[in-house]
Structure 1
């Protein structure tokens, strides 16, 4: 809250810091460190590979600063699971691990017209949303 004891610039600065911290998802820094260590890099080398200084890398890992899109794109090129860093969940992108059902669905998908693919995507999204709601109800 702004009062007479604070200058306007101090107040604005403190509000910007608060907003910036709100934009950083909890755990991003820890997951970023995990990925850095998984790749066997120190903060200096990892940061340089993604286009930032060691200090910036450290700030990202401490969650005192939020990474930008150029940095995240650089991480992607290094083999970092950016989806995991940002969300905390890993996505299995290894096509060799597809089940028979997944392979069949993918095969049919590739044979469909674009409009039909979009219908299938909306349908799959609706089913997935309903499943996650049912899962949430089961935990309450």
Structure 2
């Protein structure tokens, strides 16, 4: 399924929301949200405007093309990261994308606790 429905689902999952929560943002019932994602129904403009206001890339949902990030909105570290990424071979870029995706998923999980301390990404303990 390559269309608006699959891109709506992709954006919902990127934001870590359930169909119910996402439907609430868009002002629709969960069954309508499911129909949007399956491609059975097409959302209206007010739905798209509401979800876009909460972080959905509406251009991507409608066209399949991500909204470009303005270069001026990048800080120095982001610029350096992007410049370095662009120098990599395609296979290495794919590996970096996979690594970042995994790290981003892990960052959304609650931190593991060990004796009142939070265990960091690589198992180190930090006093909190």
- Into which bin does the TM-score normalised by the smaller protein fall? 0.5 to 0.7
Q: Unaligned stretches of 5+ in structure 1?
A: 1-25, 99-140
Q: Secondary structure at the match of 1:56?
A: helix
Q: Unaligned stretches of 5+ in structure 2?
A: 75-128
The CA deviation string for residues 37-92 of structure 1, in whole angstroms up to 9 with x for no partner, is: 00000100000011111000000000101100110110111110000001001121
Aligned partner of 2:52 in structure 1 is 76
Higher helix share: 1
Matched, 1:37 2:30: no
* Paired residues, number: 73
Q: When the two structures are superposed, what TM-score results if normalisation uses the length of structure 2?
A: 0.53
Name which structure has the greater RCO, CA cutoff 8 Å, separation 6+.
Answer: 1
Task: State the Cα RMSD in Å.
Answer: 1.6
Q: Which has the larger radius of gyration?
A: 1
Between the aligned partners of 1:36 and 1:64, the Cα distance in structure 2 is 17
Between the aligned partners of 1:94 and 1:30, the Cα distance in structure 2 is 26
